[in-house]
Chains A and B, each alone.
Chain A
C-alpha cells in the first residue's frame, strides 16, 4: 500500500484503517485523524473551497514527514491521504492513520504528522464566501504547534 495518496476522490475511513493494519498482528493501536471542511472561517460563511497542490513536491514532502515520524516514534505503519480539487462543507479533506503496538506512540505520531503537514506540505485553500473567493491565510498557531516538536516552522 502507498504511504501517501493525493487524490480528488473521497476516502473511506474504515477501508483505510483495515488496509493500514492488514497483515500485521503486532499492531495494538490505530490512531486516525480526519480533517473536514467547515462552513465558516474567519467570520465568513464558506460555501465551498478549491484545494491546490504542487504535484511531486507534495508527495515527496509528506513521504519525508513519515520518514521523520518513523525515526521519532515507535510506530509500525503510517498513511496520509489528502484530497485536492473542489470540496464542499462537510467533506473530508485529510486522513492521517498510524499504527503501533501501544496507543501512546500512535497518538503522538498522528499529531506530529498533522502538525508537520499543516506548515510544510504544499497545499493551498481558496474558499468561496458571500464576499467572493479568497485564499486562506496561514495561521501562526500552526507554526507554534510544530515548534512543540522542536521543529522551527516559518510558514505563517
Chain B
C-alpha cells in the first residue's frame, strides 16, 4: 500500500517536502521510519534513532506504534517550537 510522507523544518531541508512510499500492510510509524533509515544517505542521517524526531499520522501527533492504512498521511518533524 502507499502512504504519503511529509517532512517539516530541518527534516524538510534535508529530505524535501513530501514523498510517496510503498509499505506492506500493517506497517507501523516506527517501521516506516526504519524502512526510510535503511535507505541510508540523507534519510539515515535525518531520521537517525539518536535524533529527536516527532511524528504525526493523518495530522494527529502519534507515537511510533501507530499502524498505517492505505493512503495515510504521515509526517516526520523535529520537536515543535511555536508560541
Chain A residues at the B interface, C-beta cutoff of 8 Å: 35, 51-54, 56-57, 60-61, 82, 93-94, 114, 117-126, 135-138, 155-156
Contact = CB atoms under 8 A, between A and B. Distances in A.
Contacts of A124: 8-10, 77-78, 80-82
B81 A123 contact: yes
B59 interface: yes
A126 B82 CA distance: 10
Contacts of A121: 80, 82-83
Given A61-B60, A137-B79, A155-B79, 5 more contacts: A54-B77, A118-B83, A122-B8, A122-B82, A138-B78
A49 to B, nearest CB: 10
A117 B8 CA distance: 17
Q: Which of B52, B79, B81, B83 has the most chain A CB within a 10 Å cutoff? A: B81
Contacts of B60: 57, 60-61
B75 A57 contact: yes
The 8 closest A-B pairs by CB, nearest first: A123-B82, A138-B79, A124-B9, A57-B59, A118-B83, A136-B81, A155-B79, A125-B81
Contact of B83 (A57, A60, A114): A114
B10 A135 contact: yes
A148 B77 CA distance: 25
Q: Which of A82, A118, A155 has the most chain B CB within a 10 Å cutoff? A: A155
Interface of B: 6, 8-10, 12, 52, 54, 56, 59-61, 75, 77-83
Contacts of B77: 54, 122, 124
A137 B79 CA distance: 8
A135 B82 contact: no
B83 A117 contact: yes
